[in-house]
């Protein structure tokens, strides 16, 4: 058993609040949250929080983790050029070994940012899953069915395989996007969603051009098109959700579909700013993702949270918009529920021990008028003291414990890049 | 003498480039930049860069450092309410001791972000200067003349005093803003500017309402109003510069006035997004500032640099806008020149030893396709390995060397807050 004591705890169930509880974990689970009892059991390790904050780890609800290999490679170009001229041609050269290495590099970055789970859509899922399991990191794979897949039926095999493989891995159904996936393949995804009563996810409404093209082709927006074929009959959601019409927002609210926002990626590719306040006001559940390093270029949840709030202020010309508390809830709770990790959404007995400790004894967290606003408005990776996934400490005081030295991974990554770009 | 070796150096003179030089400093000065010679002199300390990047420190060209006391205190309200209802009433309670403490807290945060100098407009300048000198930090004070000052002629006494006080401190002339400073006082600032042939600075064009009010009152925009009374006859510049007309931009370009951008503060207060690409295209020299912690709420140059680039992309709907190289030059070089620190703008013999080492052996800096874009698009405070001001290491590996323990400063800051808000 591991004991966290002498600090603060951010709890969500029963109302978002900071308590002075202590927290015990055993195996991968949270066992106790409450006052210090008179007699203590034996612990394997006792962690003195020194007043720091323990919170449910951030859930990165939209990622392409292995895209670390394209960080700062193809910057400063619009999404369609970036995707078709830079991303797809180089992705075609990726081997499973490369995906394994680039994924582990991304996991290091997640841990340094207090992220404890990802929702990942990419290629070579066997290597991807192995990289997560070997690192001790939690991930939900999302199938990214599209027209380039040689064998669309592979997603059903993957659905069954990865949902039974390991406690750190699960799998959800999805397509890359309606503009990269023909109607027949989209209908196949819907068939599986119906067969398994499973939610379905897709990139949608990321750029204005994407929405306009879809309307020209089918007379409907991407959310309406997908809904018209039953894609969302068992829930799910969309990634980006920047250019949502009033009808799209109503559809997402009615069906309780998750809108996963990616503010940094949307800035960098000049896609736009998602209307999070309108979405929240309509009752659409919200989560946050970093997207991949190729379009971000960081995997830094503090930057995402800051922008999920402040971009609302500037676009609505209202400094009261984009409340900080909602953003923290999106990061810790919303993300977990959006991707099916319902046991990772709080600090309470029986929940998974996916936890982050934020160091409040850094200058950017002082004075302590309001800890939660300090985190959203001033937090940074320098505040991440510890990241625990499934009860194991994978990051602490700047050091990584994922079964491989970072320097070796950097060397492997740079070597793989040379092969990939030669 | 201190030797930095076995790494990379970002140099600007003769074209922005990364070299493999080594760098020696002696006292407060850079003595040698070049290849490793056959025989080495004796050094007091040799720092193995291990491949990391040495660069001229970031210059924070617009600050109100002691406003750390308002961090996360008065969030989520528009600029005028925020300024008149929350900021001014609490500032009135500040004592010199409080300014000293809150300034040292801000300096800690600057150092953790690789910032080596500030351009600060605030109150109680004696205490402010002492906090900088005692910490070993470099600052340029800017007078913030306004209608609340009991004795406007104090700025001339301060100009003479602080420009002769200490090598780490200098002083420039400025007014808070045309909307807080009556014409008589503005003319007095101009008189001093003419007497000392000195540049002059002011907050300007921060909000749409400010510009509209000024036009209604005087038939001119704030830059035009100031220029019409000779305010810019010896140069200077403006803070924020969000709502600049085409004529304002042409005026700034013609007179080579510095536009200091504050992207985070402008988002948080919903003020707007400065047209940096238009300003740069017109030839306006650019610098970056964090503004105060009350409106930001962090003092984090990585966030400012990221947004100085990416907000241009999204507002211009052009992913090629807001180039990363220009942003780094604004941060390291532009800022120094904007505030009169012409010896702090490069790594070259004879320049001041105001240097930052960025750790490239962190996951967010890998792979190494493009180091400079990695910094602007993915950098974070976690990458700041060392910050040196005037030849002294003030921050290294997360620890501060400013003559006081951070924990003691936090305690003093929280105690002072309780007095200030009681």
In angstroms, what separates the C-alpha of A39 from chain B's closest C-alpha? 31
Indicate the pLDDT class of residue B77, thresholds 50, 70 and 90.
confident
- Residue B142, classified by CB atoms within 10 Å of its CB into exposed (0-12), middle (13-18) or buried (19+), is buried
Q: Radius of gyration over alpha carbons of chain A, in Å?
A: 21
Indicate the pLDDT class of residue A270, thresholds 50, 70 and 90.
very high
* pLDDT of amino acid B256: 98
In angstroms, what separates the C-alpha of A129 from chain B's closest C-alpha? 20
Shortest CB distance from A267 goes to which of B311, B363, B382?
A: B311
| Tokens found for residue A244 | 């949502």
Angle formed at CA B109 by CA B107 and CA B114, multiple of 5 degrees: 95
pLDDT at A78 over 80: no
Task: Spell out which residues of chain A touch residue B379, defining contact as CB-CB under 8 Å.
Answer: 298
* pLDDT of amino acid A420: 84
Q: What pLDDT, in 10s, does the model give residues B375-400?
A: 999 999 999 999 999 999 999 999 99
Instruction: Delineate the domains of chain B, giving CATH numbers in brackets.
Output: 1-422 (3.20.20.140)
Higher-scoring residue by pLDDT: A75, B232: B232
Q: Share the mean pLDDT of chain A.
A: 96
Kind of pairing, strands B29-34 and B2-5?
A: unpaired
> Looking at the complex, does the CB of residue B360 fall below 8 Å from at least one CB of chain A?
no
In angstroms, what separates the C-alpha of A194 from chain B's closest C-alpha? 38
Q: Share the mean pLDDT of chain B.
A: 96
Task: Spell out which residues of chain B touch residue A275, defining contact as CB-CB under 8 Å.
Answer: none
Q: Taking residues B295-322, what's their average pLDDT?
A: 96
Indicate the pLDDT class of residue B53, thresholds 50, 70 and 90.
very high
Q: Taking residues A265-279, what's their average pLDDT?
A: 96
> Looking at the complex, does the CB of residue B34 fall below 8 Å from at least one CB of chain A?
no
Q: Taking residues B397-413, what's their average pLDDT?
A: 98
Indicate the pLDDT class of residue B11, thresholds 50, 70 and 90.
very high
Q: What is the DSSP letter of B38?
A: S
> Looking at the complex, does the CB of residue A316 fall below 8 Å from at least one CB of chain B?
yes
Q: What pLDDT, in 10s, does the model give residues B187-224?
A: 999 999 999 999 999 999 999 999 999 999 999 999 99
* Cβ within 8 Å, pair B381-A378: no
Q: Are the C-beta atoms of residues A374 and B72 closer than 8 Å to each other? A: yes
pLDDT at A254 over 80: yes
* Cβ within 8 Å, pair B298-A377: yes
State the DSSP string of B74-130: S-SS-HHHIIIIIIHHHHTT--HHHHHHHHHHHHHHHHHTTEEEEEE--S-HHHHHH
- Grouping H, G, I as helix, E, B as strand and the rest as coil, residue B174 is strand
Indicate the pLDDT class of residue B309, thresholds 50, 70 and 90.
very high
pLDDT at B80 over 80: no
Q: What pLDDT, in 10s, does the model give residues B222-253?
A: 999 999 999 999 999 999 999 999 999 999 99
* pLDDT of amino acid B81: 82
Q: Taking residues A248-259, what's their average pLDDT?
A: 98
Q: Of A344-348, B84-88, B93-97, B184-188, give the lowest mean pLDDT range.
A: B84-88
The neighbouring-strand residues paired with B145 are B175
* Cβ within 8 Å, pair A271-B306: no
Q: Are the C-beta atoms of residues A72 and A295 closer than 8 Å to each other? A: no
Which of residues 58 through 117 in chain A touch B, CB cutoff 8 A?
68-69, 71-73, 75-79, 82, 105-106, 108-109, 112
Q: What pLDDT, in 10s, does the model give residues A32-53?
A: 999 999 999 999 999 999 999 9
* Cβ within 8 Å, pair A314-B364: no
What's the complex ipTM?
Answer: 0.97
In angstroms, what separates the C-alpha of A418 from chain B's closest C-alpha? 10
Sequence-separated (6 or more) residues with CB below 8 Å from residue A151: none
* Cβ within 8 Å, pair A363-B82: no
Indicate the pLDDT class of residue A257, thresholds 50, 70 and 90.
very high
Q: What pLDDT, in 10s, does the model give residues A395-421?
A: 999 999 999 999 999 999 999 999 888
Indicate the pLDDT class of residue B86, thresholds 50, 70 and 90.
confident
Q: What pLDDT, in 10s, does the model give residues B147-168?
A: 998 899 999 999 999 999 999 9
Q: What is the DSSP letter of A27?
A: T
- Residue A407, classified by CB atoms within 10 Å of its CB into exposed (0-12), middle (13-18) or buried (19+), is exposed
* Cβ within 8 Å, pair A377-B299: no
């Amino acid at each position: 058993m591991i004991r966290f004591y002498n600090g603060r705890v951010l709890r969500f169930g029963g109302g978002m609040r900071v308590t002075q509880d202590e927290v015990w974990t055993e195996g991968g689970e949270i066992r106790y949250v409450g006052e210090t009892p008179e007699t203590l059991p034996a612990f394997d390790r006792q962690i003195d929080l020194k007043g720091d904050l323990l919170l449910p780890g951030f859930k990165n609800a939209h990622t392409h983790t292995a895209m670390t290999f394209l960080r700062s490679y193809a910057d400063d170009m619009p999404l369609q050029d970036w995707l078709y001229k830079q991303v797809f041609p180089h992705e075609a050269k990726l081997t499973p070994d490369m995906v394994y290495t680039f994924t582990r590099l991304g996991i290091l970055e997640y841990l340094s940012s207090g992220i404890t789970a990802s929702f990942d859509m990419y290629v070579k899922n066997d290597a991807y899953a192995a990289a997560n399991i070997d690192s001790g990191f939690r991930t939900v794979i999302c199938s990214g069915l599209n027209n380039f897949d040689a064998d669309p039926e592979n997603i059903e095999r993957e659905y069954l395989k990865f949902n039974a493989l390991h406690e750190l891995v699960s799998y959800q159904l999805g397509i890359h996007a309606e503009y990269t996936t023909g109607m027949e393949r989209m209908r196949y995804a819907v068939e599986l969603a119906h067969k398994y009563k499973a939610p379905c996810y897709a990139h949608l409404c990321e750029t204005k051009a994407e929405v306009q093209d879809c309307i020209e082709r089918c007379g409907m927006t991407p959310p309406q098109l997908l809904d018209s074929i039953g894609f969302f009959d068992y829930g799910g959601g969309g990634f980006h959700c920047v250019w949502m019409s009033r009808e799209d927002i109503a559809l997402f609210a009615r069906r309780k579909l998750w809108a996963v926002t990616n503010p940094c990626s949307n800035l960098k590719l000049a896609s736009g700013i998602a209307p999070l306040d309108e979405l929240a006001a309509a009752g659409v559940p919200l989560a946050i993702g970093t997207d991949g390093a190729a379009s971000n270029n960081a995997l830094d949840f503090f930057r995402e949270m800051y922008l999920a709030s402040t971009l609302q202020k500037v676009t609505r010309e209202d400094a009261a918009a984009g409340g900080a508390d909602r953003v923290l809830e999106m990061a810790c709770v919303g993300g977990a529920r959006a991707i099916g990790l319902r046991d990772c959404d709080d600090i309470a007995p029986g929940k998974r021990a996916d936890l982050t400790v934020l160091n409040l004894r850094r200058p950017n967290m002082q004075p302590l008028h309001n800890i939660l606003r300090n985190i959203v408005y001033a937090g940074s990776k320098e505040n991440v003291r510890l990241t625990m996934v499934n009860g194991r400490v994978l990051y602490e005081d700047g050091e990584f414990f994922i079964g491989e030295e970072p320097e070796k991974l950097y060397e492997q990554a740079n070597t793989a890049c040379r092969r990939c770009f030669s």
